[in-house]
Amino acid sequence: MERNGRKTYAKKLKHKIDNKYQITNKNALNLDNRGLLGTIAGNIARQLRDNLDNKVDKRIYKENNKAKCLKITFWNVAGIRNLEEEWEKLLEYDVINLTETWADEKDRELIENKLINYNILLVEARREGKRGRLKGGMVTAFSKSLNVKSTIIEKLNEELIKLDLNTDKGKLMILSVYMRDRRSENYEKVGKILEDIKEGYIIMGGDFNARTANKGGRESEMMTEEYRLSKDKVVNKEGEVLLNWVSDNGMYILNGNVRGDEQGELTYIGTKGRSVIDYVITNRKTEEDLIERMQVVDNNESDHQRLDLQLNILTKKVHEKGSKYKTIIYEGWSEEDILNYNNKLKELGRPENWNGLREKLKAAVCIKKIRINTSIQKKKWWDQECHAAKLELKKTRKKYIETGELKTDYCECKKKYKKIIEDKKRLTLEKDWSEARKDKTGKKFWELINKQRTKKEEISKKIHMVEWTEHFAKQMGGKVVEETRQLGKEEKIEKNEDQEITQEEVEQVIKKLKKKKAAGEDKITNEAWIYGGKELQENLQGILNKIWNGDEDLPEEWKMGIIKPIFKKGDRHKPENYRGITLMNTGYKIYAEILRKRLEKEK
């Protein structure tokens, strides 16, 4: 009686939307007789509901989505260095989960520069042997502007990262997965975690390397078994393990069972074939309360498709254009700036002591601001040929996805695209080096060198000031002792007019100052002295002689230096892996250099 009721219900629904969804009797006959007719009824009902809702949803969704949707992405990138403009697309997400990055600690700087407004956890890829290539590797990043009460990010092992967010809807656990060598360990570890939060919000996504056909979906009230749509019809050994684990832990697969991916799109399209091996897995509570949409996004950079998820969780709007820019404040030293600087120096007169001279220099320097676009810029080597090759690859890939045919054409097209990109990069670099060799000034040569250098590592914020003090105190020989004493009569330095600092001495030292060097505590750069002219040199000479003759005390700020930690190698969070450089005030450096030269002459 119950089965007949389900059949009648299915027929009524089928009759209503037969023309729209082309559900024929022939289709129905292809299904087995184990209650799956009820499954089709459920799917038809969902499609009908989505179709009716979408007319309103599509209009409202764009507005609501900007303000409230928490955006998450899971993606097997097959090497972060393969990404080009895809980096900019990733900035649209609040939580980014990347697997198979082939990245180690050396790539941290690249990742941090691309994801500048994110907190990042890097799980290093492993190298097989000393010369083997890197394999695996994971990155999970979440926006620094995320509107949550608290966040905890944790590496469980080389194939699992856990991110806990305390949101306005409650606690949400996001697990990034890359099933490779530790499958049994991973399932056991996650299973234990789920036991503690059975009623919580859980999202588990990534590359499971398992094929599950159309199984593992959410069980509806009308169904006797789980069912979902999928364009992959194969269940392999790894898939059976995943299906058993999902069933035992009260979870289910969202792919092919959610708005945005109603058909169960393919997630892997490569030379080895087409399949669904990347999933988002959740529980009933999470889907009903939070999940608005999931989408499988096609791309040319990886054989794996990106899985995008949108949750109904309030979050700050962090994807504004303004977030792509940062303001840099710097000193201007163009010809016009130097002229204005010297005119300003004349207007400000001639101060009689160091404090006055310092303030005069600060007031005269031209301070400028510039907004830098931190988004991914178009590559110099990218041209129309690259664009055309990418479009052709996209077109061939689409046909391969839809029909399963033209695999050879797709593989050849992908090889051709990669070769064009590699050739363009190589030719552009050769051209740049050729121009650098012809440049007699050496400016272009150093520009090229600096572009290819990795930038200096940022100082770890986890090291406290006490640790820095202890570390540099040890480097300087233990304790730092301040010692002052009066010179005895026999120790006093004899002074006469011939010993006074000359203008020639000041000029010689200033001539040897290097440009573009960091300033000391007073923020006066070498350029302020270099471009100041003879009048400024005479002013400085007079003040230095007052200090030399004892008419004015050595400025207190000259007795201090700023120690700047420079990362060497190893763990960034340990102070012993840093060396220090001391930044002194430029006025003191000029004075000290004059004295050093005098001492050399006396030897």
Tell me the pLDDT tens digit for each residue of 126-139.
887 777 788 899 99
Which residues contact residue 164 at a Cβ distance below 8 angstroms, ignoring those fewer than 6 apart?
Answer: 150, 151, 152, 153, 154, 171, 172, 173, 174
Which stretch of DSSP H or E encloses residue 267? none
Q: What pLDDT is attached to residue 320?
A: 43
CA angle 457, 458, 462 (to 5 degrees): 125
Q: What pLDDT is attached to residue 29?
A: 36
Give the amino acid at 342: N
Give the amino acid at 117: N
Tell me the pLDDT tens digit for each residue of 95-149.
999 999 999 888 888 898 889 889 999 999 988 777 778 889 999 999 988 888 8
This prediction's pTM: 0.59
CA-to-CA separations, 593 to 77, 264, 506, 549, in angstroms, rounded: 55, 73, 9, 17
Instruction: Please name which of 256, 215, 262 lies closest in space to residue 236, comparing C-alpha atoms.
Output: 215
Q: What pLDDT is attached to residue 561?
A: 82
Q: What pLDDT is attached to residue 8?
A: 46
**C-alpha span between 106 and 125 (Å, rounded):** 11
Q: What pLDDT is attached to residue 24?
A: 39
Q: What pLDDT is attached to residue 141?
A: 95
**C-alpha span between 424 and 426 (Å, rounded):** 5
Low-confidence ranges of the chain (pLDDT < 70): 1-68, 198, 220-226, 316-326, 372-378, 452-458, 477-498, 603
C-alpha dihedral sign at 293, 298, 299, 305: positive
Q: What pLDDT is attached to residue 208?
A: 96
Alpha carbon distance, N-terminus to C-terminus of the chain: 113
Domains and CATH numbers, the chain: 2-312 (3.60.10.10), 384-452 (no CATH), 456-481+496-602 (no CATH)
Which residues contact residue 433 at a Cβ distance below 8 angstroms, ignoring those fewer than 6 apart?
Answer: 448
Pairing mode, if any, of strands 138-143 and 118-123? Answer: antiparallel
